[in-house]
């Protein structure tokens, strides 16, 4: 497999693009097992006014229609939420490489339990990017992961 860090660089670059556009800074990319890029993308909630486009969804869409995802690798800057973990499981994506799972712990343990090869890189750039974003825009972050407003998570 191509060096995981090199694959993560592509997803991280997508996250930075999202940040520059005023969006949620999460990026992803789908590669084949040889490291060839199939599709890349980032969260587009703000940019497209579309709650359905998480980073992984965007990369998956960009890769187009395929008949076999088993030899593919989903790389994402952040632990995939249930929506994106469900995508990985349903389509049988074989490997998931995750930048960090400190600021958000999604469904990657569940994926590992169901046979997906999961690698968490603990990348400090990714941790820093999300830490800063969550501190700055908690409203947008909680919206993006479906946490309804409460006293702890204001609108």
**Site residues (vs a second copy, CB under 8 A):** 45, 49-53, 57-58, 60-61, 63-70, 81-87, 89-92, 107, 143, 145-149, 155
Q: Whole-angstrom Cα distance, residue 125 to residue 131?
A: 10
Minimal distance in Å, beta carbon 68 to a second copy? Answer: 4
5 vs 105, which CB is nearer to a second copy? 105
Question: Are the beta carbons of 25 and 133 closer than 8 angstroms?
Answer: yes
Minimal distance in Å, beta carbon 3 to a second copy? Answer: 27
Strands 72-78 and 27-32: antiparallel
3 vs 64, which CB is nearer to a second copy? 64
Question: Are the beta carbons of 133 and 19 closer than 8 angstroms?
Answer: yes
Question: Are the beta carbons of 95 and 31 closer than 8 angstroms?
Answer: no
Catalytic-role residue among 14, 56, 100, 143? 56
Tell me the Cα Rg of the chain. Answer: 14
**Catalytic: 14?**
no
34 vs 49, which CB is nearer to a second copy? 49
Question: Are the beta carbons of 97 and 122 closer than 8 angstroms?
Answer: no
Minimal distance in Å, beta carbon 6 to a second copy? Answer: 25
Residues tagged active-site: 56
């Amino acid at each position: 497999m191509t060096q995981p860090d090199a694959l993560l660089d592509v997803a991280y670059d997508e996250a930075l693009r999202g940040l520059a556009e005023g969006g949620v800074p999460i990026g992803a990319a789908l590669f084949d097992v040889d490291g060839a890029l199939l599709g890349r993308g980032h969260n587009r909630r703000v940019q497209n006014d579309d709650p359905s486009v998480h980073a992984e969804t965007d990369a998956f869409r960009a890769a187009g229609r395929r008949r076999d995802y088993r030899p593919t690798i989903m790389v994402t800057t952040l632990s995939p939420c249930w929506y994106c973990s469900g995508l990985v499981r349903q389509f049988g994506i074989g490997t998931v490489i995750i930048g960090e799972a400190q600021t958000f712990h999604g469904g990657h343990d569940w994926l590992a339990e169901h046979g997906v090869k999961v690698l968490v890189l603990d990348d400090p750039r990714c941790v820093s990017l999300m830490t800063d974003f969550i501190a700055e825009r908690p409203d947008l972050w909680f919206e993006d992961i479906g946490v309804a407003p409460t006293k702890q998570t204001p609108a």
